[in-house]
Amino acid sequence: MYLDYNATAPTRPEARDAVMEAMLAVGNASSPHLPGHAAAARVDKARRQVAELLGCSPGEIVFTSGATEANNLALRAGCSTGGGVITSAVEHPAVLETARELTADTPNALMLLPVDADGLVDLADLHKALASSKVSIVSLMAANNETGVLTDLAPIVEAAHAAGALVHTDATQMVGRLPIDLVDLDVDLLSLSAHKFGGPQGVGALFIRRGVDFPFQPLIFGGGQERGWRAGTLNVPGISGAGAAAAAAAHALPTEQVRITELRDKLEAALTRQISSCHINGARDQRLPGVSNVIFSGAPADAVLSAMPEIAASDGSACASGAPTPSHVLLAMGRSREDADSAVRFSLGYATTARDIDVAIASTVRAVAQVRQALGSED
C-alpha cells in the first residue's frame, strides 16, 4: 500500500502517455526545422498547462530539473540584490543549505525564524527580522514536506514587500494538492517539482513574476535556453509529462482534495483510538489534505516500518533518508529526540483508496504493538 506521496507520487496515466508520445517523436525544441517546431510546441503546451495550474502567465514559467534546482536559482537570484536572507528552521534542505552557502561569508546575513509546537511561524518574528537589517529575500515554504503544515503566505508577502524584500516560496508539496492562484498570491518566485503531483521525476519549474527586476547568474551556462535562466537542451518528454500531470491535477483537484482529506482523517482517527501514546504532529486545521505525521511513543519509526513491509510510508523526508539525526523539523517544533525518532509520515494522494487506509490501519496497529512488545515499552 503506497502511502509516501510526499516523497514521490505515482505517475499519472496522462503523464505517462505524454512522456511516451514525446519520446517516440524526434526533434530538439531549439531547432528551426519542423521536428524542432513540433518539440517546441510540446514544451509550449506544457508551459501553458503548468501556468494554468498556478494561475499565472506561461511566460513566467522556467523549466528546471526539479524543485531543488528551482530553489537554488530563486535564492541565488534574490541574494544578487544584496542583503540578508530570512527563512525558517523547518525548510527543506534545498532551501536551508543553499541559504547557508550564500550567506556563509557574511556574518548575521542568514536569519532562521523559529516555529511553534504546531510548526507555524509567528508573524511577529518575521517583522522583527525584517526590521533588524536589510533583507534581500524571504523564503518560506508553502507546505512542510514532513508535517504538511501550511504557511499563511499573504501576510508574509505583505510584510516582506513593505520592507523591500523579495518573496520566494517552495511550493513543492502544495502544487497540485491545494488551489494556488498567483494572481492573488503576490509571491515573486515559486518552486515546484512535477513528481509530487503525478508527473515524471527529474523535471520541475520556477515561477518568476513578470516585472520583478534583479540581476541573476544561471547555475548552468550554455545556449541560453529558458530565457537565459537555464541553458541546455530542453527535456521535452519530461516537460510534456509535467504539463499533462498539471492538467490532470487541476481537473481533479476539487474532488481529490475532499476525498483525500476524508481518508487522512479516517486514518488518524483510527490510529489515535486504537494505539495508546499516539500523537499527530502539526496544526490540525492548517495542514495539507493527505499528510499525517504520527508519533508512536516507545516505538522507533524504523522498527515500525520494518515490521509492516506491506506499507510504503516514511520515517522522515526522503531527501534526508539515511541521516543519522532525527528530523530537524520535529526538533524545531519542540519534540524530543526520542519522539522525533518515533514519528512515521503517511502521505496520501490521488490514487489512494479506502482499502489502502484500512490495510494501513491494521498493519500499523499490529506493527506498533509488535515493536513495543519487543522493546518492553508496552503500556
> Which residue type is seen at 357?
I
211: left (phi over 0), alpha (psi -120 to 50) or beta: left
Is 56 among the catalytic positions?
A: no
DSSP state of 151: P
Please name every residue paired with 247 in a beta bridge, in sequence order, or none if there are none.
none
Residues 208 and 199: beta-carbon distance below 8 Å? no
Catalytic residue among 56, 79, 278, 319: 319
Instruction: Give the span between the Cα atoms of 213 and 211, in whole angstroms.
Output: 6
- Work out whether the CA dihedral 354, 378, 370, 4 comes out positive or negative: positive
Neighbours of 155 (CB within 10 A): 12
Q: In what order do the strands lie in the sheet with 110-113?
A: 61-64, 204-208, 189-193, 166-170, 135-139, 84-88, 110-113
Please name every residue paired with 370 in a beta bridge, in sequence order, or none if there are none.
none
Phi, psi of 271 (to 5 degrees): -65, -45
Catalytic annotation, residues:
319
